[in-house]
Amino acid sequence: MKNSASDKKHIIITASLLMLFAAAGAAMVGVTFTLTVDDIKYNEKLTLLRKLNNIIPAEAYDNDLLLDTISIEPDTLLGTKEATLAYRARKEGKDIAVVYSSVAPSGYNGSIYLLVGVYENGELAGVRVVKHRETPGLGDAVSISHSDWILGFNGKSLNNPDHKKWKVKRDGGIFDQFTGATITPRAVVNAVHDALAYFEKNKSVLFSQTPDNAKKDRSE
């Protein structure tokens, strides 16, 4: 009986210690998260700003690109299925450019996610692929980290080239395709063209709508 009572006491003590260690561990995780969450958000903003500045140079605008945003509802021209943000660049109060998301749904291995920047006059400031699953060594050439193909959109507009030439060369257009991988660039070219069509259709809203942050400030 002594051994049984001793064993029970030992089990209780061990369980209590484990509970204390678990509680202490959880508390440490919570404190660490609280201390680092601001740093994480700050680093995420810096990463996003770098991506945006790869499309719209920082010297081209003087407003806060991360605050001058509006929400864009899902749209077939953008290939989006949920609301996304548009980032507006302005200088001395004048509209300079806007950057927004676009999705090419028909990549070789699935959807290709883009950031498209358009100047106020309708010319492309730049395009960047931000997420894809295209084949390494083939379709991944749409990414700036693998080739400069994506830079071929710079300066293009809805009418430059002509609508019929907004295709890869294999389809009679002006844009290069990749050896052994035509589907991927074709999907991106189509998506960028549609993103420009969206800009032409919604230009006034993209630039004139009140920033989301201003709306929030007024409601508080």
Interatomic CA distance for residues 169 and 193, integer angstroms: 15
CA-wise closest residue to 88 among 38, 137, 125, 113: 125
Is residue 201 within a helix (H) or strand (E), and if so which, with residue range? Answer: helix 183-208
DSSP state of 173: S
pLDDT at 26: 66
Burial class (CB in 10 A: 0-12, 13-18, 19+), 94: exposed
Q: Is the pLDDT of residue 36 over 60?
A: no
**pLDDT tens across 56-78, in order?**
999 999 999 999 999 999 999 99
Residue 14 binned pLDDT confidence (cut-offs 50, 70, 90): confident
Residue 218 binned pLDDT confidence (cut-offs 50, 70, 90): very low
Task: Lowest mean pLDDT of 17-26, 30-39, 89-98, 167-176, name the range.
Answer: 30-39
Task: Lowest mean pLDDT of 2-6, 122-126, 139-143, name the range.
Answer: 2-6
For residue 86, which amino acid is it?
A
Q: Which residue has the higher pLDDT, 110 or 13?
A: 110
Mean pLDDT score, 10-20: 72
Mean pLDDT score, 193-197: 98
Cβ atoms within 10 Å of 44's Cβ, excluding its own: 10
Mean pLDDT score, 199-213: 87
Q: Is the distance from CB of 86 to CB of 99 less than 8 angstroms?
A: yes
**pLDDT tens across 142-193, in order?**
999 899 999 999 999 999 999 999 999 999 999 999 988 899 999 999 999 9
Distances (CA, A) of 113 to 35, 60, 66, 75, 104: 32, 25, 19, 14, 6
Locate tokens 């500045």: which residue?
Answer: 53
**pLDDT tens across 84-125, in order?**
999 999 999 999 999 999 999 988 899 999 999 999 999 999
